[in-house]
Structure 1
Amino acid sequence: MLNFDKDRFVRIQSGAVAIAGEARALLRRLLSDGVERLYFMGTGGVQLLTLPAIELAQRHTVFPVATGFPAQVVLDPPAGLDRKALVVIPSLSGTTRESVQLLSFLKQRGVRTLSLTGHADTPLAQEADHTFTNFAEDDTSSESFYLQTLLIVLALLAERGEYDDFDGNVAELQRLPRLLVDAKATFEESAAGLAATIRDEAYHIFTGAGSVWPEAHYYGMCILEEMQWIRTRPVHAADFFHGTLELVEPGVSVFVFKGEDAYRPLSDRVEAFARRYTDRVRVLDAASVDLPGISPRVRSLISPVLLATLLERLSAHLEVLRDHPLTTRRYYKRVEY
C-alpha cells in the first residue's frame, strides 16, 4: 500500500484500544468521588472525532454528556463547569493553544480534567489531572481518537449499569487494528481510482447521518480543505433537503457516507435523490467492510472508524497525484490567537 506502515498502524490503534481497562477504573473512581457531568472539549477537527461517542451516550443515558468549543468556553462557560464535572480534552499534539488555555481556565475553576494526547512531553499531557497518551500522527489519529472516546463513554455506561458486556466488546475491539489493515488493503485499488477521478475537482458536498456525519464533516473540513485546499460543503443528511439539495446538478460531486446504525435511511434518501440529478455520487459504506469476528453490535459502534481508515487511503493517493503533501499549509503557522 502507498506510503503505509502496517506495523506502526497496528501499534497505534492497539494502543487506543488498550486504554479500556484504565478508562473504566478511572470512571469508576470519578463517579464514586462525585462527578455528575461529562464534557468533551477539543479544538478543531479533533472535536468532531468525539461526537459519535457523545451521541452514543445521549442515546443510552440521562447522565449529562455534552460538548463545547474551548475558544468559547473560556469566554463564557456553560453551566456546570465545576468540581462535579469531568472535561475530556483531546489534542494530538498536546500543545493546541486554545486547548491549553482551556485547561488553565478549568483548573482555576476546580474542574477535573482528562487529556487524550499523542505526545507525553506536552502541556496537556503533563498538566491535566489524568491523561491517556497514545502516540499517533495525522494519518492515524482519527481512528485512535474515535476509539478512545468510544471506550470512555462505554466505560461510563458500564459503570452506571446502562451497557452490558463491556469486556466482551473490548475483546472484539482488540481484533480491530489488524482487521483495519485488511480493510485498507481491500480498498487500495478503489482509493487509487477515486483519487485519480477527483484529483482536479474543485468542490464536493459531503453528507452523512448518525455516527458517520462527524467523519463527513471532518474529511471535508480537515483533510480536503485544510490539507488539500479543495472547497467542500459538509451538510448533515437530515438537513440536506432544507437547502443543499438546490446545489445538486450535473457535474456536482456528492459524497454520501453510510453507517451501520439506525440513521442509515437518511443517507439512503440523499443517495437516491442525488443519483437523479448528478453523475458524480460517491458512496462510502461502512457495511461494505469485511470484519470477521466482529458482532453487529460492535460494528454499529465503529462505522466512523471504518470510514476514516478507508479515507486515509484516498488521502494517501490524492497528495501524490496532486503533488500537494498533506502537511502543506498556507496560514497555519501565521494564525494569531
Structure 2
Amino acid sequence: MLNFDRDRYLSIQSGALRIADELHGLVGELLSSGVERVFFMGTGGVQFLTQPAIELATRYSTFPVSGQMPAQVVLAPPAGLNERALVVLPSLSGTTKESVELLSYLKSVGARTLSLTGHANTPLAQGADYNFTNFAEDDTSSEMFHLQSLLLVLSILDARGEIGNYNEIVAELQRLPGLLADAKAAFEDEAATLAETIRDETYHIFTGAGSAWPAAHYYGMCILEEMQWIRTRPVHASDFFHGTLELVEPGVSVFLLKGEDPYRPLAERVEKFVPRYTDRLRVIDTAKTDLPGISNTVRAMISPVVLASLLERLSAHLEVLREHPLTTRRYYKRVEY
C-alpha cells in the first residue's frame, strides 16, 4: 500500500478507542454533578468530524447536544453557555487559534471544558478542565475524532438510560482498527484507479446524507480544496434537488458518499438521477466494505469512519500523481485572519 504504515495506524486508532472506559466514567460524573447540555466546538474541518455523533444524539436523546463555531461563540454565545454546560474542544494540533481564544472565553463564563487532542503539551490539552490526548497526524485524525465523539455521545445515552447495549457497541468498536486497515488494503486498487482518473479534473460536486454528509463536506473542503487546491461543491443530498441538480451536465464530476444509516435513501435518489446527465458519477459505498463481526446497528454508526479510511487511500495516490503533497499550502499559517 502506498505510503501506509499499518502498525502506526493500528496504534493510533486503538489509542483513540482506549479512552472509552475513562470517558464513560467522566461523562457519568459530569451529568450527575449538574451538566445539562453539551456543545461540540471544533474549528474548521474537525467540527465536521463531530457532526455524525451530534446527529446520533438528536435521534436517540432529548438531552441537548449541539455544535457551535468557536469564532462565532466568542462574538455572540448561544443560550445556556454557563456552568451547567460541557464544551468539547477537538483539535489535532491543540493550538488552533480560534479554539485557544474560545477556551479563555469559556473559563470566563464558567463552562466546563473537555479537549480531545493529538498532542499533549499544547494550550488546549493543558488548559481544558479535562483532556484526552492520543497522538495522531492528518492522515489518521479523521477516524480518531469520529470515534471519540461517538464514544462521548454513547456515554451520554448510556448514563441517561437511552440505550441498553452500550457495552456491546463499544466491544464491537474495539475491533475496528484492524478491520479498517484491512478495508484500506481492499480499497487500494480502486483508490489508485480513481486517483488516476480524476488527477487532472478541476471541479467536483460532493454529496451525501446523514452521517455520510459531513464526510462529503470534509473531503471536499479540507482535503481537495485545502490540500490539493481543487474546486469542489459540497451539498447535502437532501438539497441536491433544490439547486445543484442544474449544474449536472456531461463532463461534471459528482462524488456520492453512501452510508448505512436511515438516511441512505436520500443518497440513492441522487444515484438514480445523476447518470442520466453525466458519466462521471463516483460512488463510494460503505455497504461494500467487509467488516466481519460488526453488526448492522454499529455499521450504521460508523459509516463516516469507514469513509474516512477509504478516502485517505484516494488522497495518498492523488498527492503522488499530482505532485502536490497534502502538506503544501498557499496561505495556511502565513496570513493573519
TM-score tier, shorter chain, comes to over 0.9
* Aligned twin of 2:83: 83
Tell me the alpha carbon deviations over residues 43-93 of structure 1, each in whole angstroms, 9 at most, x when there is no partner. Answer: 000000000000000001111111110000001101000000000000000
In the alignment, the residues of structure 2 paired with residue 28 and residue 185 of structure 1 have an alpha-carbon distance, to the nearest angstrom, of 38
Task: State whether structure 2 residue 33 is matched by structure 1 residue 29.
Answer: no
* Aligned twin of 2:313: 313
* Aligned twin of 2:69: 69
- TM-score of the aligned structures, taking structure 1 as reference length: 0.99
* Aligned twin of 1:290: 290
Task: State whether structure 2 residue 222 is matched by structure 1 residue 210.
Answer: no
3-state SS of 2:301 partner: coil
* Aligned twin of 1:336: 336
- TM-score of the aligned structures, taking structure 2 as reference length: 0.99
In the alignment, the residues of structure 1 paired with residue 231 and residue 25 of structure 2 have an alpha-carbon distance, to the nearest angstrom, of 44
- Quick one: which amino acid aligns to residue 3 of structure 2? N
* Aligned twin of 1:190: 190
In the alignment, the residues of structure 1 paired with residue 173 and residue 56 of structure 2 have an alpha-carbon distance, to the nearest angstrom, of 17
Tell me the alpha carbon deviations over residues 180-216 of structure 1, each in whole angstroms, 9 at most, x when there is no partner. Answer: 0110000000000000000000000000000010000
* Aligned twin of 2:258: 258
3-state SS of 2:63 partner: coil
Tell me the alpha carbon deviations over residues 257-310 of structure 1, each in whole angstroms, 9 at most, x when there is no partner. Answer: 101011000000001100110000000001010000111111110000001000
* Aligned twin of 1:17: 17
- Quick one: which amino acid aligns to residue 282 of structure 2? R
In the alignment, the residues of structure 1 paired with residue 261 and residue 167 of structure 2 have an alpha-carbon distance, to the nearest angstrom, of 21
In the alignment, the residues of structure 1 paired with residue 315 and residue 231 of structure 2 have an alpha-carbon distance, to the nearest angstrom, of 15
Tell me the alpha carbon deviations over residues 4-58 of structure 1, each in whole angstroms, 9 at most, x when there is no partner. Answer: 0000000110111111111110011101110000000000000000000000000
3-state SS of 2:254 partner: strand
Q: 1:167: how far off?
A: 1.1
- Quick one: which amino acid aligns to residue 288 of structure 1? K
In the alignment, the residues of structure 2 paired with residue 62 and residue 172 of structure 1 have an alpha-carbon distance, to the nearest angstrom, of 25
Q: 1:336: how far off?
A: 1.1
* Aligned twin of 2:121: 121
Task: State whether structure 2 residue 239 is matched by structure 1 residue 234.
Answer: no
Tell me the alpha carbon deviations over residues 234-275 of structure 1, each in whole angstroms, 9 at most, x when there is no partner. Answer: 000000000000000000000001010110000000011001
Q: 1:168: how far off?
A: 1.1
User: Gaps (5+ residues) in structure 1?
Assistant: none
Aligned pairs (5 A) from 1:272-283: 272-283=272-283
* Aligned twin of 1:41: 41
Task: State whether structure 2 residue 161 is matched by structure 1 residue 161.
Answer: yes
- Quick one: which amino acid aligns to residue 256 of structure 1? L
Q: 1:333: how far off?
A: 1.6
Task: State whether structure 2 residue 126 is matched by structure 1 residue 136.
Answer: no
3-state SS of 1:300 partner: helix
Tell me the alpha carbon deviations over residues 154-192 of structure 1, each in whole angstroms, 9 at most, x when there is no partner. Answer: 000000000112111111111100000110000000000
Deviates more, 1:224-233 or 1:16-25: 16-25
Report runs of 4+ in structure 1 exceeding 4 Å deviation. Answer: none
3-state SS of 1:102 partner: helix
* Aligned twin of 1:152: 152
* Aligned twin of 2:95: 95
In the alignment, the residues of structure 1 paired with residue 335 and residue 306 of structure 2 have an alpha-carbon distance, to the nearest angstrom, of 33
Q: 1:335: how far off?
A: 2.4
* Aligned twin of 1:7: 7
- Quick one: which amino acid aligns to residue 146 of structure 2? Y
In the alignment, the residues of structure 1 paired with residue 334 and residue 164 of structure 2 have an alpha-carbon distance, to the nearest angstrom, of 48
- Quick one: which amino acid aligns to residue 230 of structure 1? I
Q: Percent identity?
A: 74
Tell me the alpha carbon deviations over residues 142-165 of structure 1, each in whole angstroms, 9 at most, x when there is no partner. Answer: 000000000000000000000112
- Quick one: which amino acid aligns to residue 168 of structure 1? E
In the alignment, the residues of structure 2 paired with residue 299 and residue 312 of structure 1 have an alpha-carbon distance, to the nearest angstrom, of 19
3-state SS of 2:94 partner: coil
